Amino acid sequence: MEFTGTIERIGAIVTVSDKFKKRDFVINDGAASYPQSVIFEAHQDRVDLLDSVKVGDEVSVKFNLKGRNWTNPSGEIKTFNTLQAWAIVKVGSTKVTEREVQVQDDLPF
């Protein structure tokens, strides 16, 4: 899935455990009538994606919708949803954000 808008807020990196870290950020879609502010999470090595953007940047976010159930101590089941970002690209940017493969010119044949 993909969502485009302007970054309103970028949170700090939160270390949940020695094996898990996350960072949240909010994007506003800028709709004239009913603008939506949507919160996303970046997990593990994806938290670094937010280092290349700032509040006010227009971005396109690619994400997965995640959901899970949790049973509280009184036995009531709660359901949680998370929008888990895996790519963030500045709108209009031509910058390549992935590593490019370099071709060696000194082949022996």
Residue 4 pLDDT class (50, 70, 90 cuts): very high
Owner of token pair 């888990």:
84
The predicted-structure confidence for 26-85, as pLDDT tens digits, reads as follows 999 999 999 999 999 999 999 999 999 999 999 999 999 999 999 999 999 999 999 999
pLDDT at 92: 82
Residues 6+ apart with CB under 8 A from 69: 77, 78, 79, 80
What are the extents of the domains in the chain? 2-90
Residue 96: pLDDT over 60: no
Integer CA distances (angstroms), 67 to 51, 79, 86, 99, in order: 26, 7, 16, 31
Whole-structure pTM over 0.75, yes or no?
Answer: yes
- The CATH code of the domain at 2-90 is 2.40.50.140
